[in-house]
Amino acid sequence: MTPAADTERLPYTPDQVAEALGRSWRTTLLTAHRWMVLGRTLDSRMQALQRQGRVGFYGAATGQEAVNVAAGLATTPDDWIFPGLREQLVALVRGHDLVAYAHHLFGDARDPAVGRNMPCHPSAREVHYVSMSSVIGTQVSHAAGLAYGLRLRRDRGVAVAFFGDGATSSNDFHAGMNLAGVFGLPVLFCCTNNQWAISIPVDRQTAAPTLASKAREYGLDGRRVDGTDLVAVYRALAESLARIRAGGPAEMIEFVLYRMTPHSSSDDPGRYQPGDWAARARAHDPLDRLERWLRENGMMDDAASARVRADADDTVRAAIRTAESTPAPAPSTLTEGVFRDSAPAPLAGDP
């Protein structure tokens, strides 16, 4: 399954890009490029640190940057993000501090979770970014549940759930999609189909023609978008969010892209992927695709590209230095927030 004729693709002329992104399209593209470079830089550096034993685990989002950055730019502060393993860049684009995220990756004393959660599983209350679970698909039903609360409160927010192709075979996918369809909830389901559920290719886990087609069985609209095309992704997200925010039903978007790294630092894809997979994935690199377009249209040159990369490298290294120089959590924190110091006060009328 690859980006093909049945995948939405935006023609890359400046006029069409302007129509898709609005009047500030140039600023949006350059901002997106900077964030995508920062995400790629962060992935590269953290993967190296994990191999050196300086962090315990890492799940890279390399190849998924167009979806993550577009989601960060297209959502509003009222929206809630329910991530899978690879959406940390969404939180950063929405305003989560990179240094705070670095503290989480190292699980140090300034980590908000005080080292209790795995790296790449952060939560960021200030940007409505809910901690993921390593259990496959649970965020789908969590997002539907929060969307039900948003509807009850008449809140303008939309719950945005991200999940991989493998999660579409989970029980929680059915539960979340069905609940959203039955109650007409304000939730956008985003399937990042990188074509591998860890080691299982997508064509071995479903007989459906597309993953997006599954949405129709729950009474929802589902469509496929080329997840390597920043502009097409942004347009699809903005359109769906606008419809849902205006009172429309839940929707699902399947973003077709390529996993360019192992599933995580615990994985060896050489044991199951075809030998030419890495080359095929690099040929659809969303960052290369965007930068090539910027260069062809006079918005980027060698000097500008080098500055963006140098700034990203400096920013990532500074965050890592701060986190790595922070001490580990004190042993006493193991029991903090676990037990109540006293029993709760009885409710009125209790014996």
pLDDT tens digits along 194-240: 988 888 888 888 899 999 999 999 999 999 999 999 999 999 999 99
> Which comes out higher in pLDDT, residue 268 or 125?
125
Integer CA distances (angstroms), 266 to 123, 258, 304, in order: 22, 19, 36
Q: How much is the pLDDT for 7?
A: 46
Average pLDDT of the residues of the chain: 91
For 288-310, what is each residue's pLDDT tens digit?
Answer: 999 999 999 999 999 999 999 99
Task: Read off the pLDDT band of 44 (50, 70, 90).
Answer: very high
Q: Where are the domains of the chain?
A: 14-329
Instruction: Locate 8 and state its tokens.
Output: 């939405």
Stronger pLDDT, 241 or 278, i.e. the higher one: 241
pLDDT at 263: 81
- What is the per-residue pLDDT for 351? 55
Where does the pLDDT of residue 2 fall: very low under 50, low under 70, confident under 90, or very high at 90 and above? Answer: very low
Fold of 14-329: Rossmann fold (3.40.50)
Backbone angles phi, psi at 173, to 5 degrees: -60, -50
pLDDT in tens, 140-191: 999 999 999 999 999 999 999 999 999 999 999 999 999 999 999 999 999 9
Name the band, by pLDDT with cuts 50, 70 and 90, for residue 350.
Answer: low
pLDDT at 81 over 70: yes
* Residues with a known catalytic role: 259, 263, 272
Full DSSP string of 76-108: -TT-EEE--SS-HHHHHHTT--HHHHHHHHHT-
Distances (CA, A) of 257 to 61, 191, 229, 230: 11, 10, 9, 11
Helix H or strand E encompassing 31: helix 25-51
